[in-house]
Structure 1
Amino acid sequence: MRRIAFDELRGRIETVLLGLGLPPERAALGARLTAETDRDGVKTHGIARLPRFAAQVRAGFIAPAAVPECVASFGAIERWAGHRGPGNLAAHAAMQRAMQLAQDHGIGCVALGDTSHWMRAGSYGWMAAEAGYAAMCWSNTLPNLPPWGASTPALGNNPLVVAVPRFGTDAHEPIMLDIAMSQFSYGSLSSYAAHGVALPVPGGFDEHGVLTTDAAAIERTQRALPIGFWKGSGLSFVLDVLGAMLSGGKATYQFSPNALEEVGQSQVFLAIAPAAVSAVEQMRTVVDGAIAAVHAATPVEAGKPARYPGEGALRIREESLKLGVAVEEAAWEGLLTLEEEMLK
């Protein structure tokens, strides 16, 4: 692990994205979103994903210069097509539009189809909540999660984000839930396996159908454990079906199992303007009281109080900006290799 200044990290990512064919303004935004992902400690979805993104661009699965567009609308809901462009840029545009719709209608929804992997799901929740909007968004994926009661993948490990804004001096510290539909995302499993560290709780099934904390065994079987067992399985299914219905993109069963071909995703972005229905002080009282109750709960381990969703990321962010962004050696070497290729 090494520490890299945020601006250096962002600049190197931007060089790579420019070399892959992204226009300058969009390369700058993509670099910021990616660097912020590592800054907040989500190492599995920042620079670690750039080699796969580059491979998808080079193979023609992602169109680096493609721009998303609205193809249908009715009141506060719109359908957008991503044209298989960079997923994080399309998602950023979709959430931005959902916020604009919420400003006009109190609530806004953009269903985005024919897009690509959106990198860190939470980026779009942070974006909305820091601007004063509540938000919910989700994406489907290729089949990599077995339905409950089955042993082969048929569901996506579909990430779900729920963001709640705070107000006043705490506006930059929103509540931010960013979860996969499995106990551990495949990125997290890969990280545990690479370090040879056991999972803190069982995360899936081994070759014998037994729950295990061995991340490498779960990667081999592709039998990750859904959150809440059958409940997570059901939630994954409905998010996929609803997203594909609204966006016109692919449903999970229509994806190739080849990771390079994981394009055409269906995503939904909801934004709500809380100030349209409630006074700011009333909302602040509710949120602050809820957070205080979590912090006041008796901790299992002395000196380690319970945290609200997003609180850990805020602490890592502060540390990253002070000491430099912590990056894995393999991910850093991968970034430098890509940068060298682009500068030739």
Structure 2
Amino acid sequence: MRASADSVRAQILAILDAWGMPGDLAAETAEVMLDTDLAGVDSHGIGMLASYEGMRHVGQVKLDARPRIERDSGAVALVDGGAGLGHPAAAFAMRLAIQRAKQHGIGAVAVRNSHHFGAAGWYVKLAAKSGCIGLVTSGTRTMAMVPTHGAVPVLGTNPIAFAAPGQRQPPVVLDMATTTAAANKVRAKALRNKPIPAGWVMDGAGNPVTDGAAAVAQVFEKPEGGLSPVGGTPDMASHKGYGLALMAHILGATLSGASFSPIRVRTQRPEDPDDIGHFMLAIDPTAFRPAGDFEQDLDQAVDVLRATPPADPAQPVLVPGDPERAEHADRSAHGIPIPAGLEAQIRAIAERANVPFLLKTAPASANA
């Protein structure tokens, strides 16, 4: 089915409400998850409810937790996520970073004691909408990345996101995992019965794993093998991707005092929070240049990129953020694809939460 955006939002809200999440926190979380699904990042939207349900079941996540400022140093602050879902904590932190950037030219906010926060791109787009340059990195829960020349996973997918606002042009938006693909993208392809591209997942001997079910088991269950760093397998130019992942962890977790998964799991009980960390940076261009000058120059740079002669006339040159904007427009009009496996998951979660199944097919007129 292709579910309407309104019904996806309603379904997420109904489940989060039944789980006891306060209305404002649930609305913030649903907004991030829905926007992620609309942008085509199926790994980080409504499909994450199954993971969140499992965390809630063992008492690992506190859905009523409110983020709070723990340390405040003007342009710099530390936020305690309260062991809640990461979306409210990360949104709070980025808004705080934007506020400080407007006051000081730059705002840097680190978060600790958080959980999965969805797609990092949502938070940098928030900065761009406010006229700021945004940068986000995060630690992760899962040990999925095999380091260069390694045989077992140590780092996570540790995302990096960046956005810069234009004037005529839409913002430049980069949102990337530091693995060849995010772990949940492997799960999303498996749910859709699609093969996993060679190079995404490898076994303990470095061989590619392309079957969906086998790849999910390799990433989430087996102690060896896993995801390759961005750039390819350890036999390829992957060391820079591995370095990017480490940088993202240092800013996203070490800076705030959040956990490093290989150390945390030695003593972690099922009910213990993951203590994931995030890092939010906002820069106000007007601290460096007269208002509007930065945006005009960025527009000119984007104009040059878009005017580059394409290798294939049917495929215009892209700027980071273009594919997600195109997918957002298409899914807003025609609905969000919900594969049968995910639909069954959501039905079961809704039933266990004692709420109705609310996903509805987008109107026929939208699908015309």
The alignment's TM-score, normalised by the length of structure 1, stands at 0.91
Listed as ranges, the gaps of 5+ residues in structure 1 are none
TM-fit CA distance, 1:187: 1.6
Bigger Cα displacement from structure 2, 103-112 vs 122-131 = 122-131
Instruction: Name the aligned partner's letter for residue 156 of structure 1.
Output: G
Q: Report whether the alignment pairs 1:306 with 2:317.
A: yes
Q: Give yes or no for contact 2:158–2:178 (8 Å, CA) kept in 1.
A: yes
How has the CA–CA distance of structure 1 residues 31 and 269 changed in structure 2, closer, same or farther, with 3 Å as cutoff? same
Instruction: Name the aligned partner's letter for residue 156 of structure 2.
Output: G
Map of 1:180 onto structure 2? 177
Q: Give yes or no for contact 2:191–2:339 (8 Å, CA) kept in 1.
A: no
Q: How far apart, CA to CA, are the structure 2 residues paired with 1:244 and 1:189?
A: 24
Aligned with residue 263 of structure 2, among 254, 269, 273? 254
How has the CA–CA distance of structure 1 residues 12 and 194 changed in structure 2, closer, same or farther, with 3 Å as cutoff? closer
How has the CA–CA distance of structure 1 residues 294 and 202 changed in structure 2, closer, same or farther, with 3 Å as cutoff? farther
Listed as ranges, the gaps of 5+ residues in structure 2 are 219-223, 232-237, 356-368
Specify which structure has the higher proportion of helix: 1
Q: Report whether the alignment pairs 1:321 with 2:318.
A: no
Map of 1:343 onto structure 2? 354
Q: How far apart, CA to CA, are the structure 2 residues paired with 1:338 and 1:131?
A: 36
Q: How far apart, CA to CA, are the structure 1 residues paired with 2:122 and 2:273?
A: 20
Q: What CA deviation, in whole Å up to 9, does each residue of 1:28-79 have, x standing for no partner?
A: 2222221111111111100100111012112110001011111112121111
Bigger Cα displacement from structure 2, 184-193 vs 308-317 = 184-193
Q: What CA deviation, in whole Å up to 9, does each residue of 1:127-155 have, x standing for no partner?
A: 11122111101111132111111111111
Instruction: Name the aligned partner's letter for residue 6 of structure 1.
Output: A
Q: How far apart, CA to CA, are the structure 2 residues paired with 1:215 and 1:292?
A: 40
| Secondary structure of the corresponding residue to residue 21 of structure 2 | coil
How has the CA–CA distance of structure 1 residues 296 and 206 changed in structure 2, closer, same or farther, with 3 Å as cutoff? farther
Bigger Cα displacement from structure 2, 208-217 vs 80-89 = 208-217
Q: How far apart, CA to CA, are the structure 2 residues paired with 1:335 and 1:214?
A: 24
Instruction: Name the aligned partner's letter for residue 139 of structure 1.
Output: S
Q: How far apart, CA to CA, are the structure 2 residues paired with 1:212 and 1:292?
A: 40
- Aligned residue pair count: 340
Map of 2:283 onto structure 1? 272
Percent identity between matched residues is 28
Bigger Cα displacement from structure 2, 56-65 vs 301-310 = 301-310
Q: How far apart, CA to CA, are the structure 2 residues paired with 1:290 and 1:14?
A: 41
Q: How far apart, CA to CA, are the structure 2 residues paired with 1:81 and 1:16?
A: 25
Q: How far apart, CA to CA, are the structure 2 residues paired with 1:217 and 1:262?
A: 28
How has the CA–CA distance of structure 1 residues 191 and 27 changed in structure 2, closer, same or farther, with 3 Å as cutoff? closer
The alignment's TM-score, normalised by the length of structure 2, stands at 0.85
TM-fit CA distance, 1:95: 0.5
| Secondary structure of the corresponding residue to residue 299 of structure 1 | coil
Q: What CA deviation, in whole Å up to 9, does each residue of 1:281-339 have, x standing for no partner?
A: 42233222222222233333331012111111111111122222233332233223322
Matches within 5 A, 1:33-44: 33-44=32-43
Matches within 5 A, 1:1-344: 2-141=1-140, 142-167=142-167, 169-170=168-169, 173-199=170-196, 202-211=199-208, 218-219=215-216, 220=218, 222-228=225-231, 229-256=238-265, 263-343=274-354
| Secondary structure of the corresponding residue to residue 162 of structure 1 | strand
Q: How far apart, CA to CA, are the structure 2 residues paired with 1:328 and 1:287?
A: 39
How has the CA–CA distance of structure 1 residues 184 and 245 changed in structure 2, closer, same or farther, with 3 Å as cutoff? closer
Instruction: Name the aligned partner's letter for residue 30 of structure 2.
Output: A
| Secondary structure of the corresponding residue to residue 62 of structure 2 | coil
Q: How far apart, CA to CA, are the structure 1 residues paired with 2:304 and 2:214?
A: 39
Q: How far apart, CA to CA, are the structure 2 residues paired with 1:213 and 1:300?
A: 29
Q: How far apart, CA to CA, are the structure 1 residues paired with 2:265 and 2:80?
A: 20
How has the CA–CA distance of structure 1 residues 308 and 259 changed in structure 2, closer, same or farther, with 3 Å as cutoff? farther
Q: Give yes or no for contact 1:203–1:215 (8 Å, CA) kept in 2.
A: no
Alignment root-mean-square deviation, CA: 2.3
